[in-house]
Amino acid sequence: MNTQTPSPKPEQPATRLPSSGGAPAGRWLALIRHRLVWPLMALALVLIVDALISPGFFNVRIVQGRLFGNVIDIFYRAMPTAMVALGMAVVIGTKGIDLSVGSIIAICGAIIAWRMHQGDSHFVILLMALAAGLACGLWNGFLVSVLEIQPIIATLILMVSGRGIGLMVNLLYGGTNPSFTSPLLQGLSVGSLGLIPTRLIVGAVIFFLLWLLVRRTAFGLFLESVGGNAKSARLAGVNARFVLLSAYLISGFLAATAGVILTADTHTSDPVSVASNIELDAILAVVIGGGSLAGGRIFLDGTIIGVLVIQALTTSILTSGLPPEYNLVVKAVVVLIVLLLQSSNMRAAVVSVLVRRKA
Amino acid sequence: MAAIIELTGISKAFPGVRALDHVDFGVEPGETHALMGENGAGKSTLIKVMTGALQADGGTIRLAGKEIRPESPGAARAAGIGAVYQEVNLIPTMSVTKNLTLGRLPRKFGLIDWGAARAIARAKLARLGVDIDVERPVGSYSVAIQQLIAIARALEDDARVLVLDEPTASLDANETERLFEIVRDLKARGLGIVFISHFIDQVYRIADRITVLRNGRRVGVGTTEEIPSLKLVSLMIGRDLEHIEHQRPLMDTVASSKPILTAKGVGRRRLLEPFDLELHPGEVVGLAGLLGSGRTETAKLVFGAIRHDSGEIRIDGHHIASPTPKHSLNAGVTFCPEDRKSEGIVAELSVRENIILALQSRRGWLRLLPRREQDRLTSEMIAALNIATPDADKPVGQLSGGNQQKVLLARSLVSNPRLLILDEPTRGIDVGAHAEIVTLIRELAAKGLALLVASSELDELLAVSHRIAVLRDRRMVGEISGAEATREHIIQTIAAS
């Protein structure tokens, strides 16, 4: 038998840009190619502009035993969107999209107000709201993975019907007075543990658990392989159907947690306008964070930075004294700039300019 | 007679593959010239160069003696070269008129003159002897009529060359005969026709001359009398591997042990006739046959990528009730698909992630392979298979074809298979990697693995296989082993009809 090992083949020279500037230039190039650099730069840019136009923007003080200040406020307000965006990052990683997250929040809010009215235990109500989110995710996942409906259409169904379902739930008790108070839910939403607002802790725990699931089990690899090439993944033994279903379950569950926070914050169920356009902010955050709608990659850290960019922008427009009418257009322009900076063509152009200057 | 179109010394390279290597090809007026070759031989590339869809790296194209450089299919068509591709390039929801005049709509006072457009459409169809309602959408007609509409669209008034790429693939016998009448009629009017088909009998019914391509080179040209079907098949698949010693695998140690795979009457309606197959440890069985004969289907049925609807598959004597890729993997069977891009690699994921994917899915999602273990397996495989990559975290999509193939092999090997199914393991990869993979197959068999190898290259199969199962028209027609396993015998088995 021929046991000759394959003869070594000359290593193909990897195509590298001419880094004639030596080691420092090489490190500089490596740095600006890191995937988190652009989202972080966008965030820094927004914050620097803030510091220039409103002195004292970064002041943090303690009021009534908890932290206050613009920076804390950005984190605080970003939390619901951050939870939704993390779920969205998972779904987008599988080449999908979940448009129904705002409607899931509306349904959870309606269920919370309804059961409060019926006098259930608040802890049971919390579990019911989360279960409702899972049920919504199951529905989306069923449409996408079993019936193989395109995700944008499949989740559009719940997006359209969800707010209506919320209104119908309100009708179950006449819908006259959907407001409520709950020490447990409001504690989770607007309370604080020591100096830190509770919802920041809830958000951090969710991020950590999701990170464990995606990066410390093989689940992330399966998600990304299904998003990158579902056929290949299936032939490599990955249960693509189960993986897809789970992605929508996660998104539904995380939308429900955002629903609990938002509903407790407003003390009421308002299915028509709660979390309107949150799906668009969430998608935008994923994209700013480096995710691609073509699927195949999940960036949880980038997504959080993306959410912070969007929220920092909103907060700074409000604090800058710019008339609120300008809010949406300014936001759109800044997002456009961020995305232009992220486009690989634009990036290549920037890199080539830098290299030319070094040479 | 002077050629109407003459391609000389055409070369074209893609990253990692030399698709065409100084190919000459000429068609005379009033001639039907068949262009033959297996998948990846370079037929499509040559056609694309001829019709302006691709630009050659080297060589010249002369049309009626004048050198041309078609920049786009539109330019080629304007010059008189029309082409109809396998997948009909019409817009099914639009009317026949619109499809036939799109981009060249007649105008009157700046507005579209629909009356004139309809007249043009009818005239174009009339040249082919077709009389249909030109206002109905194209999609409402049969595939055969759509094929004719596509031809009408490809033929400008002064067309001199018509390329037909697998025009009969979805036609029945009557429709094919009608198409051939039209081809003969066009031929009689002095057009040069390029005909591509994998139906060998059709080639002998319609073609005057044949050019055979293999691995980007022209390996034969002549009239249909000069190249009878036996010679044609042998030219198409009989590749000489000078760089691989023709050492036949030893037969003795094998067949005595208990079989790993037993397939009895496994088949699927309209896909593959039921077949029997046995594989023992240390044995390599080749699957030979022409394009479309059922090689890939056999491999996929055994792996469970396609469900069989008759017969049963046993691995180690255990009946696999519902074979799926996952069940097969758990039973120690792995599969490297033919179509690397769409069924093999996950382009965005790194070399490491691609290599561990099958092993990880066998372990389940909770038991993540420790990173240290992942790195060890990956660097082991990179060294053992000589994968040329700067590091293990490079996205696989950025590697060359041969290295992607090795990554797929590595994915199979790290999951410790007992039966390895390879579908076209050397398709589209360079000669060096080709030899390495052939050597690897032999080494794996020597270590006691069972291998099922489907390949369009006969000499490759002869070099690695203990037995060769021959397929023809989606049916296993014979199993050849021992001294009988010669090129001639296999070609006879394939060509016999």
pLDDT digits (tens, 9 = 90+) for A200-214: 999 999 999 999 999
Q: What is the pLDDT of residue A13?
A: 40
Q: Does the residue A42 lie in any domain?
A: no
* A5, A90, A229: best to mutate for the B interface, most B CBs within 10 A: A229
pLDDT at A18: 40
The ipTM (two decimal places) reads: 0.81
Q: What is the mean pLDDT of residues B157-161?
A: 84
pLDDT for B441 beyond 50: yes
Q: How confident is the model at residue A14 (pLDDT cuts 50, 70, 90)?
A: very low
Taking CA–CA distances from A227, the nearest residue in chain B reads B346
Query: Which residue has tokens 């409702």?
Result: A132
What distance in Å separates the CA atoms of residue B455 and residue B286, rounded to the nearest whole number? 7
pLDDT tens figures, B84-124: 876 667 888 889 998 888 877 888 888 888 888 899 899 88
User: Are the beta carbons of A232 and B245 separated by less than 8 Å?
Assistant: no
Q: Do A3 and B432 touch (CB under 8 A)?
A: no
Quote the CA–CA distance of B354 and B357 in Å, as a whole number.
5
Q: Total domain count for chain A?
A: 1
- CA-wise closest residue to A233 among B395, B315, B360: B360
Which amino acid is residue A202, in one-letter code? V
**Contact between A166 and A269 (Cβ < 8 Å):** yes
What pLDDT score does B377 carry? 94
Domain extent for A165 = 67-350
Q: Residue A289 in contact with residue A302, Cβ under 8 Å?
A: yes
Alpha-carbon gap: A9 to the closest alpha carbon of chain B (Å): 7
Task: Work out the angle at residue B70's Cα, subtended by the Cα atoms of residues B68 and B73, and round it to the nearest 5 degrees.
Answer: 145
DSSP A133: H
Residues paired with B214 in a beta bridge:
B217
Which residues of B97-189 form beta strands (DSSP E)?
A: 107-108, 111-112, 161-165
Average of per-residue pLDDT values in chain A: 86
Q: Please give the Cα distance from A83 to A257 (Å, whole number).
A: 7
Q: Has residue B255 got a pLDDT over 60?
A: no
pTM equals 0.75
Q: Tell me, yes or no, whether A230 lies in a domain.
A: yes
Answer whether residue A346 is part of any domain.
Answer: yes
Nearest by CB: B366 against A3, A217, A225: A217
Please give the single-letter amino acid code of residue B339: D
What integer pLDDT is reported at residue A7 of this predicted model? 40
Asked whether residue A47 is domain-assigned, the answer is no
* Separation of alpha carbons A41 and A55, rounded Å: 21
Look-up of token digits 């009239």:
B223
pLDDT in tens, A284-304: 999 988 888 888 899 999 999
pLDDT of B254 reads 52
CB contact under 8 A, B439 and A217: no
Ramachandran class of A27: left when φ > 0, alpha when ψ lies in -120 to 50, beta otherwise: alpha
Domain presence at residue A151:
yes
The Cα of A282 is separated from the nearest Cα of chain B by a number of Å equal to 23
Q: Pick the most confident of A120-124, A317-321, B175-179, B437-441.
A: A120-124
**In which band, very low, low, confident or very high, does the pLDDT at B400 lie, cut at 50, 70 and 90?**
confident
| CA-based radius of gyration for chain B | 25
Q: What is the DSSP letter of B340?
A: I
Average confidence score pLDDT of chain B = 86
Residues contacting B337, CB < 8 A, separation 6+: A235, B305, B343, B344, B408, B423
Confidence band for A193, pLDDT divided at 50, 70 and 90: confident
Contacts with B432 from chain A: Cβ below 8 Å: 9
CB-count burial class (<10 Å; 0-12, 13-18, 19+) for B180 = middle
Interior CA angle at B454 toward B452 and B456, to 5°?
155
What pLDDT score does A280 carry?
92
Which residue, B216, B217, B212, is CA-closest to B232?
A: B212
Nearest chain A CA: its distance from B465 CA (Å): 13
Single-letter amino acid code for the residue at A185: L
The two tokens of residue B477 are: 């027609």
Distance CA B197, CA B205 (A): 12
Q: pLDDT-derived band of residue A343, with 50, 70 and 90 as boundaries? A: confident
Question: Between A264 and B155, where is the model more confident?
Answer: A264
